[in-house]
A and B are shown apart, each in its own frame.
Chain A
Amino acid sequence: MTETFKTDVLVIGGGMAGLLTAIKARQQQVEVILVDKAYAGKSGQSPYADSLCPFNRKWGHNLEKWLHAVNVSGEYINNPEWTKLVLENSFAIYKLFKSWNIEFHKNPDGSLFKKEMPDGGGSTVFFHKNQAPQAARKEALKLGVRIFDRLMITELITSDSKVIGAAGITAENADLRIFNSKVTVMCAGAAGFKPNGWPIHELSGDSDALAYRIGAEVLGKEFTDTHMGNRKTPAFIPFAEQMKAGAGPNTGPKFRRILNAEGDPPHFKGTGGLWLSNEFEIHAGRGPLSAEMPDGSMMEFAGGTTLGLASHKTEGIVPSGLTCATTVDGLFAAGDALGNMAAGAKYPFMGFAITHACVTGCMAGKNAADYAAASPRNTITTEEINAVRQRTFKPLNRKGGFSPRWVIDVLKNALSPYFILYIKHEDRLRGALTYINFIRSHLLSKLIASDAHELRLAHEACNIVLNAEIKLRSSLARKESRGCHYREDFPYRDDKNFLGWIKLKDIDGKMTTLFEPVPEKYRPDLSIPYERRYTARIPGELDHFKRTL
């Protein structure tokens, strides 16, 4: 049974970015619908966020120093205008959370616990219990936002290159739902391949895939997130009890240090947050790696627990300007779906991702509401709805073919090994691309589904495969190493050719690579010697320079 809903603003995704988009838009007196394929307030990465990084001069913070730290850790390809916007608006998020009675960890004397940034400039504060997404859901409902849970958006609907709505299916019965909106905001998170480890298995890159298909540009896919997990149970983090007790997922026992098989710390040290130091050890044959726990015991690690994700805030839909609008008319984005390069080539510090999600959510909500108020509604025709229906239900109507669960497993098995998306080389990337192209051309066109659950999996499989292709092509295009992108065949930063952003766009049915240089005013001082411009050394780098000098 098909139903159509009309709204001014349609928000896709119910993590912090989506919920705050909905709240801020609704406060502008426009009609707002929010849809989530799981349960808004409990889906995506937001339930596992445990910290926030509010900027406050009264806390001794220094904006210039903080911005410089992000610029250096992001290896000079962050967009400083976005980084600044996020930090400048971050304290308002802290105050908003305080007004919702969200509690933060305190010191024994009752003062707020703040963890200072290793590179200076600011600090991180920690949720006592991450109630923010649920509080935001309550606030959204109170304001009159209509929330549709358990409904996966499967495509964006356009007319004359403008987004005029979206189509999706309900989890329960795969009923088709059409949303006719004046503006649509993508907030469905980062582009995981339904990763096995960190509990974000529902992430299938829906935002980037849906937006790419209707002509949006996507960037930052070559940078790789490097979260690890316990080798014995890589898919299980035993945090249910601590979360019930009021602690966030990251406030359990911290390991003291990481040691390689020779009992040494990783040879290569980076700046900022997660980097590739562990993968360099593994590739050199110095694995396995273990964490020394507070009680002195050792826990062996496994890698790739967030397969498919780029480091927070390096990937997403390319914005147009600083309003969270994208290059497609009628489409905005926020949170991890917004490819604004606020962090650059690498994740800078704890709390930045959720702070960014909240700030961009607030901005997108306000700006999308203004856009909706000034825009007419375009009608979605019956013919278009019929065409959507045909496309959406194809896997249910096929008699034979391939199970989406199996296709996703095949892709994950192919792209999981560290030497494809972590330690990269042209030969291996091309090999993987050949494999992925076969999956796309031969398997996706024959996906089958026996019920609503498998139909959702089929659509997720299509989104994952598209994201994988974008990721491989972005990695091939960046013929250098930078931040969390390491090319064994180009083991150095190439400021002459790659100080900028690689964007992928569908042009006449062909995945096309575009390059946009970082604006001149934000480029690093190239008179600073290379080894001081980039303090993190990478394998093969010195050999390369010896050869070329």
Chain B
Amino acid sequence: MSIEPINLELCTGCGTCQDICPVDVIRMDTAQGIPVIKYRQDCMLCQLCVVECPANAITVTPGRLSPVSVSW
């Protein structure tokens, strides 16, 4: 559901995912050089991180953590 734990075996720590996430879900742990999913509840499932990750280390699956209100 939403952004899944990043595959750190594939991740190169480039920071692209932090930069491009439009809703500030991912932050780099600068000490360790790895991305951390810090605000997972705000992931909007846009998948830009999946598309842009040069190492194919990110997966986003259907379903937001918080309930989604619809109009009908």
Contact = CB atoms under 8 A, between A and B. Distances in A.
Given A240-B50, A240-B60, A418-B71, A453 B39 contact: yes
A304 B69 CA distance: 8
Interface in A113-171: 149-150, 171
Nearest to B19: A39
B71 A202 contact: no
Nearest to A417: B71
A302 B68 CA distance: 11
A279 interface: yes
A416 B70 CA distance: 6
A422 B62 CA distance: 26
A19 to B, nearest CB: 15
B72 A279 contact: yes
B46 A201 contact: yes
B51 A244 contact: yes
Nearest to A239: B47
Nearest to A278: B72
Interface in A153-201: 171-172, 196-197, 199, 201
A150 B19 contact: yes
Contacts of A243: 47, 51
A172 B18 CA distance: 10
B24 A303 contact: no
A279 B23 CA distance: 30
Interface stretch (A71-79, A228-236, A369-377, A494-502): A228-236
B19 A304 contact: no
Nearest to B21: A38
Interface in B16-30: 19-24, 27
A196 B69 contact: yes
B23 to A, nearest CB: 5
Given A196-B70, A303-B72, A202 B22 contact: yes
Interface string B24-42: 1001000000000011011
B22 A38 contact: yes
A456 interface: yes
A290 to B, nearest CB: 13
B38 A304 contact: no
B23 A304 contact: no
B71 A38 contact: no
A409 interface: yes
A418 B19 CA distance: 35
B35 to A, nearest CB: 14
B20 A39 contact: yes
Interface residues of B, number: 29
A199 B48 CA distance: 9
Interface in A41-86: 42-44, 47
B51 A456 contact: no
Contact of A405 (B27, B41, B48, B52): B41
A282 interface: yes
A235 B68 contact: yes
A61 to B, nearest CB: 33
Given A47-B48, A303-B71, A233 B20 contact: no
A92 B17 CA distance: 33
Of B27, B63, B71, the most chain A CB neighbours within 10 A belong to B71
Nearest to B59: A240
A236 B71 contact: no
Contact of B70 (A172, A234, A405, A456): A234
Contacts of B62: 232-233, 235-236, 238
Contacts of A47: 48
Given A39-B22, A150-B24, A233-B62, A304 B48 contact: no
Contact of B23 (A38, A196, A238, A302): A38
A309 to B, nearest CB: 12
A210 to B, nearest CB: 18
A548 interface: no
Given A199-B45, A236-B45, A453-B38, A412 B22 contact: no
A481 interface: no
Contact of A303 (B20, B41, B50, B70): B70
A201 B71 contact: no
Of A39, A416, A456, the most chain B CB neighbours within 10 A belong to A39
A387 B45 CA distance: 37
Nearest to A406: B66
Nearest to A288: B72
A234 B23 contact: no
Interface string A396-428: 000000000100010011001110001000000
Contacts of A302: 70-72
Given A201-B22, A453-B39, 12 more contacts: A39-B21, A149-B19, A196-B44, A201-B23, A201-B44, A234-B68, A235-B62, A243-B51, A279-B72, A287-B72, A412-B69, A453-B38
Interface of B: 19-24, 27, 38-39, 41-42, 44-48, 50-52, 60, 62-64, 66, 68-72
19 contacts: A38-B24, A39-B20, A42-B20, A44-B22, A171-B24, A172-B27, A199-B45, A199-B46, A231-B70, A232-B62, A235-B63, A235-B64, A236-B63, A237-B45, A240-B60, A282-B72, A302-B72, A304-B71, A417-B72
State the 7 A-B residue pairs at the shortest beta-carbon distance, nearest first: A304-B71, A199-B46, A201-B44, A38-B22, A240-B47, A303-B71, A233-B62
